[in-house]
Structure 1
Amino acid sequence: MPDRAPPRIDSQPLPYVAQLGERAPDDIDLVVIHCTELPDLAMARSYGERVLYDSGSGNSGHFYIDRDGSIVQYVPVERIAHHVSGYNPRSIGIELVNTGRYPHWLDSRHQAMDEPYPEAQIAALIDLLQHLCDTLPGLHHIAGHEALDTRDEVASDDPDRRVQRKLDPGPLFPWPRVLAAVTLTPLG
């Protein structure tokens, strides 16, 4: 393990964390990069606390990185968070606070994702990814949410049009920079 200091991570477990399935950290081989598509961390927390399943849990990533680079952990890595269909048991979800298409997620006229990711946020993401690579020996892959969830939905403004459900982290995410800084390979 490198002599790199871990990033500062503020642990703020979601109220339903005990209802989430358990897993061995060695079973984690993938990290998925998301953007919240919400205006701020407080609203992301509110969405994460919503109970959506019979188990008493909801949708959330493991880590959230605010625009100033602060990192909050809502779900321990030993728990399975609901952040991307079909990949949850094997993955870590990292959410970057970014407006994305908010508040018109499925409106066909509002599909641009044009908020840039601040330098502090990307630097914190790289620090977190390096830390996860140091502490999770099976972690080898990385993907954006849009690469794993390619389903589409009826557009909210026009029932004859369809839009992609997930576009995050979006076209302004600096994939070359992030991939150059970590030992992870894109999934697929």
Structure 2
Amino acid sequence: MPPESPSPSTPPDIRVEPLPYEVRLEPRELAQVDLVVIHCTELPDLATAREYGERVLYEVRADGGGGTGNSGHFYIDRDGSVHRWVGLDRVAHHVRGYNARSVGIELVNTGRYPDWLDSRRQAMDEPYSEAQMVALVALLRQLQAGLPSLRWIAGHEDLDTIEVAASDDASRQVRRKRDPGPRFPWARVLAAVDLQRLPV
């Protein structure tokens, strides 16, 4: 039976499931965290997202750094369950140029999977579930209570606007990142939390 979704005013039950390389991620002071970035996984399910998150993409360097991959801090499954894969005191690799100051929240959603860069398949049609939205608002409120500098929120698509050649036709350009996409209810979320959309 799926877990019961929290109400937006109830702190969510967070399942702590650290990635194998979490301790290798750069530590940070929580006071520097002022931004939440909303993503969607663009993958079919949480298990596949975990597989991607565990992949080591940055080899160990001579200075001892590296040996990590790309991941958000939190993942919210379609049933509203909340999973923490990276602690807030670590810099997760989830958005270019903003990692050190931000918390990455990934919503399980197919997005454009499996043809992310195919110009004929750029629609992001899967709606976010009610359980996900309730859990997201509850998580954002909990983060606000614990991170005194937190004041901004953005979508991945707001911060990574790079266009690349389409996989089906190199003469066409597509957005590298489009998440959380057109089905994300920004008005609802912004009305429920005391965060402002980051001006970019």
TM over 0.5: yes
Structure-2 separation of matches of 1:6 and 1:104: 36
Establish whether residue 26 from structure 1 lines up as the match of residue 31 from structure 2.
yes
How many residue pairs were aligned?
A: 185
Residue type at the aligned position of 2:16 = S
Partners of 1:137 and 1:157 in 2: how far apart?
46
- Partner Cα distance (1:107, 1:184) in 2: 34
- Give unmatched runs, 5+ long, in structure 2: 1-8, 60-65
Code of the residue aligned with 1:90 in structure 2: it is: R
Aligned to 1:182: 193
Q: Deviations over 1:1-57 (max 9, x none)?
A: xxx652100000000001100001111000000000000000000000000012100
Distance 1:5 1:163 in 2: 39
Deviations 1:81-117 (A, max 9, x none): 0000000000000000000000000000000000000
1:147 aligned partner = 158
CA distance in 1: counterparts of 2:157 and 2:34, whole angstroms: 18
Of 20, 42, 45, 1:40 maps to 45
Q: Which blocks of at least 5 consecutive residues in structure 1 are unaligned?
A: none
Structure 1: which amino acid aligns with 2:12? P
Output the CA distance in 1 between the equivalents of 2:49 and 2:88.
Answer: 19
**Does the 8 Å contact 2:75/2:83 carry over to 1?**
yes
The Cα offsets for residues 150-178 of structure 1, whole Å up to 9 and x where unpaired, read as: 00111000011110000000001000000
- Name the CA distance, whole Å, in 2 between partners of 1:170 and 1:6: 26
Please give the secondary structure, in 1, of the residue aligned with 2:86: coil
